[in-house]
Chain A
Amino acid sequence: DVKVTQSSRYLVKRTGEKVFLECVQDMDHENMFWYRQDPGLGLRLIYFSYDVKMKEKGDIPEGYSVSREKKERFSLILESASTNQTSMYLCASRPRLATQPQHFGDGTRLSIL
């Protein structure tokens, strides 16, 4: 079974802090994704990566950056956290074949105070 592990299930940070959300997958998948989920809006793509050190902006990249130094790990960085970044964050991975589904981690519920 594919395992996508997010480092924290719940996280509380303060406005202005630099926040790191970590995601690790164990299936050698090329593609990795970060989404945020908000009520009534579904999941929205923040950033994705199709290879080591490669990254592409998604639909809502403002205020975020990412890092992929190793194939199995994809980090989401909130450069200076703001209250409007309070949300559920979901990481996913997928093999190169486009018909394959994305596999998701359990999510990190992030609160910015």
Chain B
Amino acid sequence: AQKITQTQPGMFVQEKEAVTLDCTYDTSDPSYGLFWYKQPSSGEMIFLIYQGSYDQQNATEGRYSLNFQKARKSANLVISASQLGDSAMYFCAMREGTSYGKLTFGQGTILTVHP
């Protein structure tokens, strides 16, 4: 079974609007962490935001926020006020327990921002 599922292969958004990228996960470990990365066409992986399973509040980093719904096992990334530079591939990833920090990645979502 997939541990991380991103059901949206591609998403489109108008510049300055908000967009939500979906991520669901599957784990029986009570201690885990969820990460979002951005990969522009140039190929580098850029860390965006982190949510720990015991964190009481949803994580936020500038225009990025994480809509963490633990009971539903979802960790959706919300990008507010989209910019043309947000066009990229976005990956959700999970770390279970301490597990040396190994990450399991989803398939990714390609986001295209239209002017």
- Residues of A at the B interface (CB closer than 8 Å) are 31, 33, 35, 40-45, 48, 50, 56, 58, 88, 90, 92, 94, 98-107, 109
User: Is A41's CB under 8 angstroms from B102's CB?
Assistant: no
Chain A positions within 8 Å of B99 at CB level? 98
- Residues of B at the A interface (CB closer than 8 Å) are 4, 33, 35, 37, 42-45, 47, 50, 52, 91, 93, 95, 97-108
User: Is A42's CB under 8 angstroms from B43's CB?
Assistant: no
A-B contact count (CB 8 A): 59
User: Is A101's CB under 8 angstroms from B50's CB?
Assistant: yes
* Docked pose: A109 CA to B12 CA in angstroms: 27
User: Is B100's CB under 8 angstroms from A102's CB?
Assistant: no
User: Is A102's CB under 8 angstroms from B52's CB?
Assistant: no
Cβ-neighbour of A101 out of B35, B43, B44, B108 (below 8 A):
B35
| Shortest distance between the CB of B33 and any CB in chain A (Å) | 6
User: Is B100's CB under 8 angstroms from A48's CB?
Assistant: yes
User: Is B105's CB under 8 angstroms from A42's CB?
Assistant: yes
User: Is A104's CB under 8 angstroms from B91's CB?
Assistant: no
